[in-house]
Amino acid sequence: MRTQVGIIGAGPAGLLLSHLLHLRGISSVVLERRSRDYVERRVRAGVLEQGTVDTLIEAGVGERMLREGLPHHGIELRYGGAGHRIAFEKLVPGRAITVYGQQEVVKDLIAARLAAGGDVRFEVENVAVHGLEPDPGSGPYLTFGDGERLDCDVIAGCDGFHGVSRPSIPEGVLTVFEKEYPFAWLGILADVAPSSEELIYARTDRGFALHSMRSPTVSRFYLQVPADTRVEDWPDERVWDELRARLESVPGFTLATGRITEKGVTPMRSFVVEPMQYGRLYLAGDAAHIVPPTGAKGLNLAVADVRVLTEALAAYFAGGSTELLDGYSAACLRRVWRAQHFSWWMTTLLHTFEDEDAYGRRLQLSYLDYVTSSEAAATTLAENYVGLPFPDDS
C-alpha cells in the first residue's frame, strides 16, 4: 500500500493535517491506535483561539462550531476577594476565543474525512516507523497490525506525547527542553448551567480553580491538586466543596452544582524537542511539545504546526522543493516557544507552590495587580490568550 503522507494519530493534529492535505489534492492515510468512539469521547481542551477558529472555517469544517461554539470576548481573573475582567474587545479588537470542546472538533474532522472518502483507520496496533535514514533504495514507510506496510513520501508524527514517532528518531538527534510542575489538574465535567458567562481563572491560597463551560447546560471545571492525586480521592461532594471554597470568593457569586459526568487528572508539564523533524519524519502537536493547560494553548499549537506543515508539503508535492520542509521546525518553534512562555507564566501567576516563600507570594499578587490595572500588561495577556496572528495572515 502506498500514500503520499502517512499520518500517525487521529487527534486534532493528524485529522486536520489529513483534511488540509486532501483540500490540496495530497493523499494521506491516518493510523490511530484507539477506537473511533474513544477518540470522539476523550474530554480535553475547550478554548479555540481566533486563528484556530478561522482555520477550521476556511477548511470547511466550522459549521457546527459556528452554531454551537460559544464566542467569548473576555475572561475573569479572580483573586484577593475580587474579580477583574480582561476585556478582549477593548484590548485586542476583532479577536476573541470560542469555547468548543476538543472532542467536538475531532468529531467534525472525522466526519469530514469519511465523507470525502478519506482513509482513517482506528484500532491499529503496532505502528512502527522505518526508513528514516537516507537510502536511495527505499523511502520512509510504516508497518502496523500483523505486518502490513504503508509506503509514503513523508511521515507525519501526530501521535501525541506518548506516541511512537518521537522515540523512533535516533538518540542524539533531538534536544529536549522540559519542566515539571509539583501539581496536577483535576478536570470535572458536570450537567449544570455555568455560574458565570465568562471563564474564571481563580487564584486562592487553597490552590488554583478554573470555571469553564461546554454549553448553556454543561460546565467544565479544573482544580489544582497534588501531583500524585488519584480520581478516587475526589468524591463528588469533595469536588463541589473545594470548587465552592475556591470560587465563591467574591460577594454575590454562588456556584451552581449538578451531576458530575466525568473526572480526570491531567499532569502539568512543559516539554519541547528540537528540531521537530528528522529525515522525512515531521512531528506536529503534542508529539513535539507539551504545555501546562493554564494558557489553553495545547490544541491551538497543534493547529498552528499543521498549517505550517501543510504549506511545506503542498510546495514539496507541487514542484519537489524541500525548502519549506527543511525549515518546518524553525518555522514552528517561534510560536511554540511563545506559547511555552505564556503557559508557564499563566501557571506561575495563578497556582500555589508548596515551597513558595512569603516573598514569592507577594510577587505573584503584585503581578496580578499589574495585569489587572495596567492596559499594557493586560494587553500582553489578552493578545497571547486569543492567539498571536499567524505569520501568513494578511
Active-site positions? Answer: 72, 201, 293, 297, 385
Q: How far is CA 125 from CA 41, 129, 155, 162, in A?
A: 20, 13, 17, 14
Site for ligand FAD in 131-160 (CB under 6 A): 158-160
Residue whose CB is less far from ligand FAD, 87 or 164: 164
* Contacting residue, 294, 300, 310, 364, with ligand DHB by CB under 6 A: 294
Other beta carbons less than 10 A from residue 282's beta carbon = 28
Residue whose CB is less far from ligand DHB, 6 or 46: 46
Considering only CA atoms, give the Rg of the chain: 21
Q: Name the minimum Å distance from CB 247 to ligand DHB.
A: 14
Q: Name the minimum Å distance from CB 202 to ligand DHB.
A: 12
Q: Please name the residues in contact with 42: beta carbons below 8 A apart, sequence gap of 6 or more.
A: 102, 103, 106
Told to check if 52 binds ligand DHB by CB under 6 A, we report: no
CA dihedral 297, 301, 303, 309 (to 10 degrees): 180
Residue whose CB is less far from ligand FAD, 22 or 44: 44
Binding mask 216-245 for ligand DHB (x = CB under 6 A): ----x-------------------------
Which option in ligand FAD, ligand DHB, none does residue 51 bind, with CB closer than 5 to 8 A by kind?
Answer: none
Told to check if 21 binds ligand FAD by CB under 6 A, we report: no
Binding mask 186-215 for ligand FAD (x = CB under 6 A): ------------------------------
Strand positions, DSSP E, the chain: 2-8, 28-31, 47-48, 70-72, 74-79, 82-87, 97-99, 119-121, 128-130, 141-144, 148-157, 175-191, 200-202, 209-215, 218-226, 259-274, 277-278, 281-283, 289-290
Told to check if 8 binds ligand FAD by CB under 6 A, we report: yes
Q: Name the minimum Å distance from CB 83 to ligand FAD.
A: 21
Other beta carbons less than 10 A from residue 148's beta carbon = 14
Which three three-digit cell numbers place residue 221?
471545571
* Contacting residue, 212, 224, 310, 347, with ligand DHB by CB under 6 A: 212
Which option in ligand FAD, ligand DHB, none does residue 308 bind, with CB closer than 5 to 8 A by kind?
Answer: none
Residue whose CB is less far from ligand DHB, 47 or 313: 47
Which three three-digit cell numbers place residue 359?
516573598
Quick check: 282 and 310 in contact, CB under 8 A?
Answer: no
Q: Name the minimum Å distance from CB 345 to ligand DHB.
A: 13
Told to check if 303 binds ligand DHB by CB under 6 A, we report: no
Q: Please name the residues in contact with 327: beta carbons below 8 A apart, sequence gap of 6 or more.
A: 312
Told to check if 118 binds ligand FAD by CB under 6 A, we report: no
Which three three-digit cell numbers place residue 160?
501525541
Told to check if 189 binds ligand DHB by CB under 6 A, we report: no
Told to check if 329 binds ligand DHB by CB under 6 A, we report: no
* Contacting residue, 7, 10, 26, 45, with ligand DHB by CB under 6 A: 45
Quick check: 85 and 91 in contact, CB under 8 A?
Answer: no
Which three three-digit cell numbers place residue 381?
495577556
Strand positions, DSSP E, 229-352: 259-274, 277-278, 281-283, 289-290
* H or E stretch at 56: helix 50-58
Q: Name the minimum Å distance from CB 378 to ligand FAD.
A: 21
Told to check if 127 binds ligand FAD by CB under 6 A, we report: yes
Instruction: Name the β-bridge partners of 77.
Output: 84, 201
Residue whose CB is less far from ligand DHB, 296 or 339: 296
Q: Name the minimum Å distance from CB 154 to ligand DHB.
A: 31
Residues in the site for ligand DHB, rule: CB under 6 A? 45-47, 199, 210, 212, 220, 293-294, 296
